[in-house]
Amino acid sequence: MCGVDVAAKETAIVRFLEEYPQAVAAGHGHPALQGCERVRWSDFPECPGAIPVLLHGLLDETAAPEARRVLGNSLLNISAMNPAVPTVLPFLLRLASDPRVPARSELLRLLVVLADFSEPVDGQSEATVFWFGSDGDRPERAQCRAVFAEHASVVGTLADLLDGSDARTLRQAAGLP
């Protein structure tokens, strides 16, 4: 799999914190992030342990765009998503449902990308399986679809904020018409 190793992801987070030290304190007490610090993020393969810093950074007006970028790079690579994505997804859905979140539009775009990545892979296509792995090899795809479905009412509301294929992609991930 082509991607960035965990040390590079952690280095990116350190750089983020050097540039936006206030991001650590941003959003503490925000209900969307309750429990994010209790997750053992580093237990997921190739996942940096400082994911909560980036989630909190999404609530800081100045740091939000960079927090979203670093978070996306920590969770995705060119052909797959990190196994931590099903765990981070409820936090992202709750944040995106709050109109006061500074980088809400960028967060919505990330949710669409995650919905796209969670689509099942055609197991009949050797090339597709080669590049993206089989659904059996990448259980996080089905787990993400389950999270989207569990939060279907929120997903439907968020999809209403989007147009065209982005709205369809988000709705489809949640099993909505």
**What are the residue ranges spanned by the domains of the chain?**
6-173
- Residue 131 scores a pLDDT above 90: no
Residue 19's pLDDT is 98
pTM of structure? 0.93
Model pLDDT for residues 24-71, shown as the tens digit of each residue:
899 889 999 999 999 999 999 999 999 999 999 999 999 999 999 999
Q: What integer pLDDT is reported at residue 1 of this predicted model? A: 40
**156, burial (CB in 10 Å: exposed 0-12, middle 13-18, buried 19+):** middle
Residues forming beta bridges with residue 81, ordered by sequence position: 76
